[in-house]
Chain A
């Protein structure tokens, strides 16, 4: 009987007690050396003292904590299930659609207006630029992970390829930002295909491990091939992008104009920062338009189908090799673009900017945002950049806070912040359909 009653909570009371008992037991085993025994200084010599009272407290706390945690998770899940039952799929999806529309337009409005309101706050504009870089990276990786379902842990490699391409092209050959941008993107795409080829047969965990390795290889090569990449010293004095040929310098070049003098403005270092902000905003919006459009094309649908079932794809006559390579290439190209911007903004790059933890953060953004959701990426990128920033006040607890926030979000929304998937095309107009179902009730 009790099994039936508790079925939707997942566990019977006896099971919960047993579960908590195990945890307490583990706590006891670990606790004996960690808490139960301690060394004290007795007249210059070390002696072992026991603290079994404290140990008992710790074990009881572990037991109670485990019970409470299980209870909290189960009731949260039950609550969500009952909520899911209340809503029919239709109203839920139309609500999700309007919500994402509103959120999307709001985000766009805020991002356009932000530098106007914070035109003299360097910190805000800088942080917002960082958020946008991650948004762009998230959108790029979303193609590979969210749409095509290929778990890529080395995405930062393409970011690095883009950044170093621009850095080298500009410092060695004097290329400008706009000339280098497409070339660097193409180079990154080439690396995407290069990586994609050998790992076509791999899936899931194996794919993740190989891509991780690839990311590290690129970084280690950059670190050690000193003649080529400057090694650990990186590349410095990378030229900043100019505003249609106008430099953001204090004094105008001879016979020409700087940005400030051309527009008759007082020179301010903020001009460049705001320009960079709008530049990445435009790049990110272009990326968004590009990816959203691709999603609705055969290639985008093929990516999603590949994520859903590769064998079924083959049975439908789809060349999964090409589909995978196109996902890697497009994802890598977008990462390359972001890298070019990164190099242009920093003016200095070194392999340290392209460690595994960057890949992990970008992946976290995609997963947290809800795989495949474009708006989810924006929310997640904002959160993941801002949480550590707010956390600065907590000094050494900062990363702890960051980790906790991620765990909480994943418990609260296991499918990501915005897991709603909008179909790429419909047979009927969704509003008409909602109207007929409402009329029927």
Chain B
């Protein structure tokens, strides 16, 4: 499988604090790569570097875009990472456009396509056919994702007024409307109940198997990350401490130590088994 994103020697410092320390990582195309690690390990910071919100102190981020060739993400401003490199993210603390409706959220995500079709708003102002068609298509695309994520009934409600789990799904639907090549999800299962996380599993597999979207998944919910990931990378204190298939990672002594301290060697498996039981 070809490599989609390759992170080389990435370091991110905030003053004296090194949030990411010489991290290298390969993200294969069309697969799900899990990123786990304790709180404060630097996972979100990695996403912020990837998506242009932080400029890495050191390191390169090469994206082998299927149509546009190699792009250096660390050199792009955040909006171009999403627009040109099609690397789209969600946020650990959901960031919707709360007063706008769910449908509007998904239409705003298609801003660049629509803005082009509206020709600096002129075609839009006079509602020319070309613009009308583009808008119809945008609504159709939004409708498809709304249906896929069981959000149709909320389409015309203000996004900020909906339950937490629903908002998580909206954020994913909105990211999908940007048409990502690489989708970066920051703890998408946080706050979901077991049934919702099971649905999330199914969705992630669908996106990657059917649509060929590569997914980078930060997740604490082991029932999600262990079940769907093809490959997992474990970070602690900004360093990669282990990498491999879910099974390999689960049994890696470094990982167990990072999660549970020196003594308790069985804890991580226990915690995992418990979440498994809860989910089923």
Q: Annotate B105-121 by CB proximity to A: 1 below 8 A, 0 otherwise.
A: 00111011011001001
If A301-B107, A314-B53 touch, does A426 touch B79 (CB 8 Å cutoff)? no
27 CB contacts below 8 A, A to B, read A89-B161, A293-B125, A297-B124, A299-B115, A299-B121, A299-B124, A301-B100, A301-B108, A305-B108, A308-B99, A311-B53, A311-B95, A314-B77, A315-B82, A315-B175, A316-B108, A317-B81, A317-B112, A317-B178, A318-B108, A319-B83, A421-B158, A423-B100, A423-B104, A425-B135, A427-B156, A430-B156
Name A427's closest neighbour in chain B (CB-CB). Answer: B155
Question: In the complex the two chains form, is B107's CB within 8 Å of A427's CB?
Answer: no
Question: In the complex the two chains form, is B83's CB within 8 Å of A298's CB?
Answer: no
Q: Does A41 contact B (CB under 8 A)?
A: no
If A293-B125, A299-B118, A317-B83 touch, does A312 touch B97 (CB 8 Å cutoff)? yes
Question: In the complex the two chains form, is A89's CB within 8 Å of B97's CB?
Answer: no
Q: Annotate B126-151 by CB proximity to A: 1 below 8 A, 0 otherwise.
A: 00000000010001000100100000
A contacts, CB < 8 Å to B: 89, 290, 293-294, 297-299, 301-302, 304-305, 308-309, 311-320, 421, 423-428, 430, 433
Distance in angstroms between the alpha carbons of A320 and B77 in the assembled complex: 11
Question: In the complex the two chains form, is B79's CB within 8 Å of A304's CB?
Answer: no
Distance in angstroms between the alpha carbons of A315 and B50 in the assembled complex: 11
Question: In the complex the two chains form, is B95's CB within 8 Å of A320's CB?
Answer: no
Number of contacting residues on B, CB 8 A? 47
Indicate which residue in A89, A308, A318, A427 contacts B139 across the interface (CB closer than 8 Å). Answer: A427
Contact residues in A for B118 (Cβ distance below 8 Å) = 297-299
Contact residues in B for A294 (Cβ distance below 8 Å) = 121, 125
Question: In the complex the two chains form, is A309's CB within 8 Å of B96's CB?
Answer: yes
Distance in angstroms between the alpha carbons of A304 and B143 in the assembled complex: 21
Question: In the complex the two chains form, is A427's CB within 8 Å of B143's CB?
Answer: yes
B contacts, CB < 8 Å to A: 51-53, 77-84, 88-89, 91, 95-101, 103-104, 107-109, 111-112, 114-115, 118, 121, 124-125, 135, 139, 143, 146, 152, 155-158, 161, 174-175, 178
Question: In the complex the two chains form, is B111's CB within 8 Å of A301's CB?
Answer: yes
Question: In the complex the two chains form, is A298's CB within 8 Å of B82's CB?
Answer: no
- Interchain nearest-CB distance for B13 vs A (Å): 22
Distance in angstroms between the alpha carbons of A110 and B121 in the assembled complex: 32
Name A289's closest neighbour in chain B (CB-CB). Answer: B125
Question: In the complex the two chains form, is A423's CB within 8 Å of B115's CB?
Answer: no
Contact residues in B for A421 (Cβ distance below 8 Å) = 99, 158
Given contacts A315-B89, A316-B82, 9 further A-B contacts (CB under 8 A): A299-B121, A305-B97, A308-B100, A312-B96, A314-B53, A316-B108, A317-B111, A421-B99, A424-B104
- Interchain nearest-CB distance for B170 vs A (Å): 11
